[in-house]
Amino acid sequence: MRFTFIHAADLHIGSPLAGLGLKDEAVAARFAAASRRAFEALIEETIASKAAFLLIAGDIFDGDWKDVTTGLFFTRVLGRLAREGITTFIVKGNHDAESLMSRELPYPENVRIFDADAANSFSLDAQRVVVHGRSFASRKVSNDFVASYPARREGWLNIGLLHTALDGTRGHESYAPCSVESLRLFGYDYWALGHIHAGEIVSRDPWIVYPGNLQGRSVRETGPKGAVRVSVEDGRICEVVPIVLDRARWAHETIDVTACIDEADVMTRIEAQIGQIQSEASGRPLALRITLMGTTDLHTRLVARSEDIVADARAIGFRFADDCWIEQVTLATEVPPKRSIVTTQEDILDIEALLEAAASEPEFQVVLKELMGAIGEKMPRDLRAALAADDAALARLVRRAGDHLLGALATEQEP
């Protein structure tokens, strides 16, 4: 007998999207709808694949809802699977743990929610599949969380549904800590994991899989997102295939401008990169961060005109599509080892040396720290860290200001 099932995780329905609303409300509205549209695409794919069942490995929501419409949306869309006779298995993750959710949902009859006090099992007799799982009772769970999973049921395809960071080495805090070896000891055929937002096949013997999150939420979650389709034949898993379901795309691209001779050349390279990434997004709304890097005489000019470069890049993006949004242009360029500014033919003034000398004056450092502190007091508390007044941060600030001045002077000298 051959059948398929779909494994998804980290839907984060209702999650805010970092920063977009502060910059362009129309684009932000398209991204805000992306998590719901991606979930609808997941359900459509499950039905189209004639999947036997759907697994959701936690973090359905992004914490408690602001209003009941979020929960009703989720149950309404799941109802489509109920009408198709497709069962959904769900464990609650750290974001939708029982301690965070103030309301219970009237789930369709085809939905199986795993307990939080200990792992339990549900079976599908037609496919001879048994799914073992455990929901989070709170954001933090005990170290023996995974140990409560039951033993393998012989003669059945055994699936473990688990929200975990494994050993915590993938850049996430160690929720439900365990190791690949400890999971292997259970003898399950497939571990359907959630929590890590980057898709990964951790092991093939047994299968231990992260599908990644369904929809990227910030520029830290770039590229295609979705779920995996798992094929089973004669009681054995034979194939695990990623399926792309995201409905908005984030990207972060680095452009080397070392060989650029002027700003027009820089913008040409930016345009080419935007066009390539926008094409790869296949019509999805796109939020793209661009980093310019390289050693170039244009460095100070780029610093001085950084706001204009961002505006020009965004205008280029909108030429490709209404929802092609340049989220940010970051400068990581450097000046060549030696430079000077010629103010007249008779006089050569090393302004850079003067700036460096002024910046090293103790009195200047004191004044600068006082100014930064005064500015920080007027900023929201969560943004004050950006103005940290440690010596390294102040040195970067002074260097940036110097580059801005040098770039402005170079621009003024142009005929």
* 206 and 256 inside one domain: no
Phi-psi region of 369 (alpha: psi -120 to 50; beta: other; left: phi over 0): alpha
294 and 195 belong to one structural domain: no
DSSP-derived 3-state class of residue 330? strand
Terminal CA-CA length for the chain: 78
Q: Which of 224, 244, 264 is the last residue of a domain?
A: 244
Q: What CATH code is carried by the domain that includes residue 72?
A: 3.60.21.10
Determine the structural domain holding residue 302 and report its residue range: 249-412
Shared domain for 309 and 348, answered yes or no, is yes
Give percent of the chain with pLDDT exceeding 90.
60
Residues 90 and 228 in one domain: yes
- 281 and 190 in one domain? no
Tell which wins on pLDDT, 218 or 381: 218
Q: Within this chain, do residues 279 and 304 fall inside the same structural domain, yes or no? A: yes
Neighbours of 308 (CB within 10 A): 11
Number of domains in the chain: 2
Whether residue 177 has pLDDT greater than 60: yes
More confident residue, 119 or 371: 119
Same structural domain, 125 and 267: no
Mean pLDDT of 223-247: 97
Same domain, residue pair 203 and 264: no
**Per-residue pLDDT averaged across 100-111, rounded?**
78
Given pLDDT bands bounded at 50, 70 and 90, which one contains residue 246? very high
How many C-beta atoms surround the C-beta of residue 47 within 10 A? Answer: 16
Strands 341-342 and 348-349: antiparallel
Structure tokens at 327: 């989220």
Query: Could you tell me if 43 and 155 lie in one domain?
Result: yes
Residue 22 has pLDDT above 60, yes or no: no
Instruction: Match 């102040």 to its residue by tokens.
Output: 394
Specify the range with the lowest mean pLDDT, choosing from 33-42, 95-104, 252-261, 265-274: 95-104
For residues 217 and 352, state if they share a domain. no
Question: Mean pLDDT for the chain?
Answer: 85
Q: Among the three residues 227, 244, 261, which one is the final residue of a domain in this structure?
A: 244
Same domain for 149 and 229? yes
Alpha-carbon distance of 55 to 57, in angstroms, equals 6
Q: Is the pLDDT score of 206 beyond 50?
A: yes
pLDDT digits (tens, 9 = 90+) for 340-399: 555 554 444 555 565 566 556 666 666 656 666 666 666 555 445 555 556 666 566 656
Last residue of a domain, one of 183, 217, 244: 244
Q: Are strands 286-295 and 249-256 parallel, antiparallel or unpaired?
A: parallel
Q: Phi/psi of residue 355, each to 5°? A: -65, -45
Residue 395 and residue 356 share a domain = yes
Cβ neighbours, 10 Å, residue 407: 19
- Dist CA 202 CA 184 (whole Å): 12
Tokens found for residue 283: 């019509």
- From 47-56, 125-134, 405-414, the region with the lowest mean pLDDT: 405-414
pLDDT value, residue 383 = 47
State yes or no: pLDDT of 27 exceeds 50: yes
Gap between the Cα atoms of 377 and 52, Å rounded: 57
